[in-house]
Structure 1
């Protein structure tokens, strides 16, 4: 082989090595980019799952009286009725929250006489309503009950729908 052919062959070999080196670098760069994209996607997914979990927990922890009010029918259980009555009373109670926070910081809470009288009034109203719903044994004019359980059930129905 001639010297020019050998020089040309050597030049082609160097070009091939350079091309292989560039191909290898590009391949490594692509693999690196894929790993980064995969990592970013995984972080996005984890953040989304964490957000959904936090939202779910927030919904469960959130106080029940902040939920939308719904009408209570006669089939509601006693706990739900008591809770709704409690929050109904709280809604009517006027509290100066800033004054309460100030007094709480000083660790001495002495409500003023107006607040005390308001609470007493609310409690007496609640007691009056409760006593009004009660039936005295001598007021009963219906004697057609099958048994004591039936009598209690009918009384409960009457209380719910009055």
Structure 2
């Protein structure tokens, strides 16, 4: 008896290949998400450094004002102007953090979409595998039935020829 060939084997192989490709896409999307998270961590560090610097300068200004003896108005004005520059830099850094958070969110959404696609493709392969199993089972029964009929026909033919020989 020759090996049964599943008629949709090529389709099944294509679907399996698509699952492999989808797994690669998920890995790539995960790698990109990790990169975006690392960038976010760096942006937050930069922002925190600027924030710390701002707090230090603000504390320094307060100390100067508390020790107002010998502090010139010009020096206080310079410190306030510098604080304004630091505040603007802090706003820029906070915007960078918000922008990077948006990039992380986009990367997370891309990863989720890739995972959904992978799940869908795996389900298709599972359905095809199940169909193949059922088809092979049905095909085997069909072949056995044909072989049984053939054996019956051979048996009947042998019986009839034996009967004819006895009659003669």
Query: TM-score of the superposition, structure 2-length normalised?
Result: 0.43
Between Structure 1 and Structure 2, the one with more helix by share is 2
